Amino acid sequence: MNNETAAPNSRAALQVRQRAGSLGWRGPLVLLAARLVFAWLAYGLVGALFAALGKVNPWESAAGWWPVYGILIDVSCLGLLAYFLRGEGLRLFDLLSWSGRWQRTVLLSVGLILLEFMVGLGGGMLLTTWLYGSSQGNPPLVAPLPGLALLYALTVFPVVWGIAEEMTYQGYALPRLQVLTGRTWLAVIAIVVFFGLQHTALPVRFDARFMLWRAVSAALIGVVVALAYLRVRQLVPFIVAHWFFNLLTVLLLLLPPPA
C-alpha cells in the first residue's frame, strides 16, 4: 500500500497530487475565506427575515442566533469542500485521516481540550482585561434562545460546526497551503488570520473593540490548534475538542446571571 492510498491527506500524498496537477491554489484560497463570507451572508439573510417579520431590532436580534443559522455556513462549506476534493479524487471522509485507534483518539482529544482550555483561559482573560478592564467584561456570544432553538444549539450545532470548521481549516486548507507555499509558518499564519477574522462575525456586532477581542482570542486558539494538527495529522480529536467547546459556549447561556 503506497502513501497515497494509506494517508490521502498526508503531506507526501498532497505533494504527489500537486506534481500531478490535481492540487492547485483555487480550492485552498476559496475555503480560507469561505466561512467568513458565508457567516456574513447567513447573518444578512436572517436579519432581513427578522426585519420582514417585523421583529424589533432585527439585525441585533439576528446576531445572537448564529448557532442556529450556522448550519447555512456549515452546509455551504461542506459543499465546497466536497467539490474541490472531488478534483483530487478524495471524499470528505478522507480528511479525517483516522487511524482507527480509539484509545489514542480519546487521549489526544482530552489533551487538546486541556491545552485549548489553558490557552483560551489564560490568554482570553488577559485579552479581556486589557480591552474591557475586567476578566469578566466581554459581552455574551450567544443570545437567549427559545426552546427548540436552544435544543438545536445544544445538540446539532456543536457537532456539525465542529466537523465543518475543523475540516475547512485544519483538514483541508492548512496542509494544502503548507505544500503549495513550501512554508509551514506561512500556512499557519494564513489559517490563524482567517480563523480569527471569521469569529468577528460570530456574532456580528458593529463594535471595533468586540471584533478585535473576538479575532485575537480566536487567533490564540488557532495557533495552538494549527501547530498541533500538523504534528498529529488526525482530525477526529480536533473535532471532539471543538464539539466540547461549542457545547460549553451554549451551556453558559443556562447559567443564572451574576448577582
Alpha-carbon distances, residue 149 vs 43, 70, 145, 253, 255 (angstroms): 16, 12, 6, 12, 17
Is 14 within the bounds of a domain?
Answer: no
Is 4 within 8 Å of 16 (Cβ atoms)?
yes
Question: CB under 8 Å to 237, separation ≥6 — which residues?
Answer: 105, 108, 109, 111, 112
Is 259 within the bounds of a domain?
Answer: no
Is 70 within the bounds of a domain?
Answer: yes
Is 6 within the bounds of a domain?
Answer: no
Give residue 257's pLDDT: 54
Cβ-based neighbour number of residue 40 at 10 Å: 14
Cis peptide before 257 (omega within 30 of 0): no
Alpha-carbon distances, residue 251 vs 126, 244, 254, 256 (angstroms): 23, 10, 5, 11
Is 2 within the bounds of a domain?
Answer: no
> Which residue, 138, 151, 140, 139, is CA-closest to 68?
151
Is 146 within the bounds of a domain?
Answer: yes
Is 11 within the bounds of a domain?
Answer: no
Question: Which one-letter DSSP state was computed for residue 233?
Answer: -
Give residue 3's pLDDT: 40
CB under 8 A, 24+ apart: contacts of 67-70: 67/142, 67/145, 67/152, 67/153, 67/157, 67/161, 67/246, 67/249, 67/250, 68/145, 68/149, 68/152, 68/153, 68/157, 69/42, 69/43, 69/45, 70/42, 70/157, 70/160, 70/161, 70/202
Is 225 within the bounds of a domain?
Answer: yes
237 by Cβ neighbours in 10 Å (0-12 / 13-18 / 19+) ranks as buried
> How would you write the pLDDT of the chain (259 residues) with one tens digit per residue?
344 445 889 999 999 999 999 999 999 999 999 999 999 999 999 999 999 999 989 999 999 999 999 999 999 999 999 999 999 999 999 998 877 788 888 999 999 999 999 998 888 888 888 888 876 667 778 888 998 999 999 999 999 999 999 999 999 999 999 999 999 999 999 999 999 999 999 999 999 999 999 999 999 999 999 999 999 999 999 999 999 999 998 888 776 555 4
The DSSP-derived string for 198-225 is HTTBTTB---HHHHHHHHHHHHHHHHHH
Domains of the chain: total: 1
Crossing angle of helices 102-132 and 236-251, in 10° steps, is 50
Q: State the residue range of the domain holding 156.
A: 20-254
> Which residue, 223, 242, 215, 244, is CA-closest to 39?
215
Give residue 5's pLDDT: 43
Look up residue 185 and give its three cell numbers: 509558518
